[in-house]
Chain A
Amino acid sequence: MNPSKTLIYDGSFNGFLTTVFVAFEEKIDVVDIQRNTQGQNGLFSETETIFTNVEKAKRVWNGIRSTSHNAITNVYFAFLSEVDGIELTLYSYILKLMTAKGAKQTDYSDGIVLRISQLARSVGREKHRMEAFVRFQLTKDDIYFANIEPDFDVLPLISKHFRNRYADQQWLIYDVKRKYGIYYNKEHVELISLNLKEVHFNKIHKSDALLNEEYDYQALWNDYFKSTNIKSRINRKLHKQHVPKRYWKYLSEKKETA
């Protein structure tokens, strides 16, 4: 019988793929896959710590991609959901992809396949929302700065969109919840972490870091938002469905209501 083990990895996507590689190679009976920050040991299984190896990770990545382009997107997106136990679900998903005949990633009558495709969809929706709801504020250092607090870890997914779009301005998007950000210096995007004294909500009280002109444009945008509303068609339920309340504090047009 193969040994039952709980595998521990460093929390990165490459780390996870390495874990999958090791589990396949050593034919391990996987009890659970956990981040090293979790540290929950099972009573009847051993644990093994996996060290990230980019070569091995790449082989798993290519292996999944060769079954379907759709599947590799699903795996990456679902991984970024950070849902509890996602690693083990993904492991079973990959196992199914590798062993089944035919396009297993489209078997929506299989619970795990459906679950992964739904999770990937949720993460995709959050990505799209962030592309919409980021509100840059121009700082005195001439950087367009935005704070976000997405449900899922979508910064790696939105970086390309913002780089392509705002190619001629410096910008910085900072994830307050996960404490890292992406910064574009007109040449390339880099990961940064900041020591933020205060989170820049779109507060009514003004910050020294921002230009006065910035508040003028926010006021104009607020006015525009109000005058484009048709009062006789009011539908607050639909409004909240499209712009859930948890995003309001970062949206300058909603600052009075947040």
Chain B
Amino acid sequence: MDFNRIQEKLNVLADAAKYDVSCASSGSDRANKDNGLGNASKMGICHSYTEDGRCVSLLKILLTNHCIFDCAYCVTRKSNDVKRAAFKIQEVVDLTINFYRRNYIEGLFLSSGIFKNADYTMERLIAVAKKLRLEENFNGYIHLKSIPDASDELMYEAGLYADRLSVNIEIPTISGLKLLAPDKKHEDFTKPMLKVKNELLRFKNEHKVIKSTPKYAPAGQSTQMIVGATGETDKDIMYSATYYYKQYNMKRVYYSGYVPVAEDNRLPSIGTQVPMLRENRLYQTDWLLRFYGFAVNEILNNDHPNLDIDVDPKLSWALRNMHHFPVDINSADKRMLARIPGMGMRSVEKILNARKFRKLNWDHLKKIGVALNRAKYFMICDSRHWERKDLDAEKIKGMILQQSTGKFRNQYSTQLSLFN
């Protein structure tokens, strides 16, 4: 191994890959075959966390950062003056195997800048995955990027070796895409998505009849959208996310607060703060849609095109819909329990089980771990004490904000501080 050369390449190509936020290693249960190397853990494992608090579970690198496209939001765009490098296929294989054997990673996340054309690039990515699977008997997790506009045959082959496939639409609106990535068409992104979706459906049907049908991308597909680059509303983002979840059976849609990487008058300037709180609110909404039984138009609609910054989306919904509350903890159904602010799905399960034995009071709920600072205004339990009494939504919001603290509070607080 030529240590110095590899080291230099790794620095360049890991640095360029880090803006892809997905690092999930879950959803696949590939078993270890013939006493080979590795398996995939169904729940996924984060082996480390960077200082920005993001999970490190895969070796996330680009095969190369040479690219023929010039997308304004991307750090590897053609016109950007950065150091360029490219890995050989064997080098990626060696790095993956050696990191994996030391229990550093769950597997490989391989993406690439586009050189020559989409199919040529996609072929290289597949070659790495194929070598790992067939020559090294590697059964760990592999996430391959689908290159926009790659052909259907290649997308089929990619799924045979990869656990997850993803293509990032990056810009949530078609008008935004025209502005920032004029060389790319919206259909280039959706074409591989559609192929993957159809292959997943085909696998599901054939697997019912023939158990030995070869696995096809067992962890499904995902995509990513950049937040805060083109002035889109939260409604635009979440409606478009909902569309991808429904239309292409996405496992995940990721939201990535735009990190300014270039001076370009179409984009926020360098030094603009990354919209981390907004990103957080979008993820909270995503969770409400996927696990808490909310419909997207309950949370975002023409009257409320943007999420509240100062309170979480569930609390914000509850404050607008006070007529649903208070909910009686001891008799309400699961759907309503899940709608109480401060109540997580784990607490909901515990309550449903525990209330078979006795009526629950404040003490029980506190021990179970419900965030009573918010929940207490929206529920009643086995106690004569009811917190809301006759408070209205504004008052409740005020009291909750007063009794809690938030890391981002100073960014949006209108309260002047006394001493500066």
Q: Which residues of A contact B (CB under 8 A)?
A: 102-103, 106-111, 114, 128, 131-138, 144, 146, 161, 164-169, 186, 213, 216-217, 219-221, 223-225, 227-239, 241-243, 251, 253
Contacts and interface: CB of A to CB of B under 8 A. Distances in A.
Contacts of B355: 109
A242 B46 contact: yes
B239 interface: no
A211 to B, nearest CB: 12
B52 A229 contact: yes
Contacts of B60: 228
B357 A107 contact: yes
A207 B102 CA distance: 17
Contacts of A235: 51-53
Interface stretch (B4-12, B305-313, B334-342): B4-12
Nearest to B357: A107
Nearest to A257: B51
A24 to B, nearest CB: 24
B194 interface: no
Contacts of A164: 31-32, 39
> Which of A111, A225, A233, A238 lies at the interface centre, i.e. has the most chain B CB atoms within 10 A of its CB?
A233
| Most interface-central of A109, A138, A168, A186 (chain B CB within 10 A) | A109
A166 to B, nearest CB: 7
B103 A233 contact: no
A167 B59 CA distance: 21
Interface in B182-207: none
Contacts of A230: 18-19, 50, 52, 54, 259
Contacts of B18: 227-230
Contacts of B353: 103, 106-108
Interface in B62-117: 95, 98-99, 101-104
5 contacts: A144-B102, A166-B101, A168-B35, A224-B99, A233-B274
Contacts of B360: 109
B163 to A, nearest CB: 15
A172 B235 CA distance: 52
Given A109-B358, A144-B102, A242-B46, A225 B37 contact: no
Contact of B102 (A102, A103, A107, A221): A221
B412 interface: no
B332 interface: no
Contacts of B43: 128
Contact of A221 (B38, B99, B137): B99
Nearest to A228: B18
A224 B18 CA distance: 10
A172 to B, nearest CB: 12
Contacts of B38: 165-166
Contacts of A146: 103
Nearest to B276: A233
B267 interface: no
A167 B39 CA distance: 10
Given A109-B360, A164-B31, A166-B103, 14 more contacts: A102-B357, A107-B356, A109-B354, A133-B48, A137-B102, A167-B36, A217-B99, A219-B7, A224-B59, A227-B18, A228-B14, A230-B50, A235-B51, A239-B52
Given A146-B103, A168-B35, A233-B274, A106 B48 contact: no
A243 B49 contact: yes
Contacts of A106: 353-354, 356
Interface of B: 1, 3, 6-7, 10-11, 14-15, 17-19, 31-32, 35-39, 41, 43, 45-56, 59-60, 95, 98-99, 101-104, 137, 257, 259, 273-274, 276, 350-351, 353-358, 360, 364, 367-368, 407
B103 A220 contact: no
Report which residue of B47, B53, B360 has the largest number of chain A beta carbons within 10 angstroms of its beta carbon: B53
Contacts of A165: 32, 38-39
Nearest to A106: B353
Given A234-B51, A253-B48, A167 B102 contact: no
B52 A217 contact: no
A223 B52 contact: no
B351 to A, nearest CB: 8
Nearest to A115: B367
A219 B11 CA distance: 11
A197 B351 CA distance: 52
B50 A225 contact: yes
A231 B276 CA distance: 13
Contacts of A103: 353
Nearest to A238: B53
A94 B234 CA distance: 51
A224 B14 contact: yes
Given A167-B37, A224-B14, A233 B368 contact: no
A223 B13 CA distance: 11
A177 B21 CA distance: 37
A101 to B, nearest CB: 10
Contact of A227 (B14, B39, B47): B14
A69 to B, nearest CB: 15
Contacts of A166: 37-38, 101, 103
A241 B53 CA distance: 9
Contacts of B31: 164
A206 B182 CA distance: 53
The 9 closest A-B pairs by CB, nearest first: A238-B53, A106-B353, A233-B52, A242-B49, A108-B354, A229-B50, A235-B53, A109-B354, A167-B35
Nearest to A128: B45
Contacts of B11: 223, 227
A125 to B, nearest CB: 12
A231 B364 CA distance: 43
A168 to B, nearest CB: 5
B48 A251 contact: yes
Contacts of B354: 106-109
Nearest to B259: A232
Nearest to A243: B49
Contacts of A111: 367
Nearest to B261: A232
